[in-house]
């Protein structure tokens, strides 16, 4: 993803008020698990947590980009003349289907 989209995402995305509480709870549970797991199991757990963080970041970026695309599509529709019409689109689709038969 282009760096400017990542920068926009970083600038306009805010953490929810629950994010700090959830992070604290995750860290607390992780600390308890570390004491109970062997070294190889801890390595696997930390790798899993890293992958989850990467997945969450990518999902957030994808969602942000989808929002930008949606806003752009809405803007294009608002600037169309004549304005977009769902009924007209359905009629056109039906006409093309009938012509193909």
Tell me the C-alpha distance between 48 and 55, whole Å: 10
pLDDT band at 67 (very low <50, low <70, confident <90, very high): very high
The total domain count for the chain is 1
78 within a domain of the structure (yes/no): yes
Quick one: what percent of the chain has pLDDT higher than 90? 53
19 within a domain of the structure (yes/no): no
Residue of 8, 4, 99 lying closest to 60 (CA atoms) = 8
The CB density around residue 15, as the number of other CB atoms within 10 Å, is: 9
77 within a domain of the structure (yes/no): yes
Tell me how long the chain is. 101
The residue assigned the tokens 């806003």 is 71
Indicate whether this model's pTM tops 0.85. no
Above 70 in pLDDT, residue 1? no
82 within a domain of the structure (yes/no): yes
95 within a domain of the structure (yes/no): yes
Query: What residues make up the domain containing 67?
Result: 26-100
Cβ contact 71:83 at 8 Å: no
48 within a domain of the structure (yes/no): yes
């Amino acid at each position: 993803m282009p760096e400017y989209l990542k920068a926009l995402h970083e600038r306009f995305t805010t953490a929810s008020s629950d994010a700090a509480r959830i992070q604290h709870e995750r860290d607390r549970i992780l600390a308890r698990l570390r004491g109970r797991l062997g070294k190889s199991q801890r390595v696997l757990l930390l790798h899993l947590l890293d992958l989850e963080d990467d997945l969450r970041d990518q999902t957030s970026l994808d969602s942000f980009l989808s929002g930008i695309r949606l806003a752009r599509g809405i803007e294009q529709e608002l600037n169309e003349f004549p304005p977009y019409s769902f009924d007209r689109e359905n009629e056109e689709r039906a006409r093309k289907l009938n012509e193909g038969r």
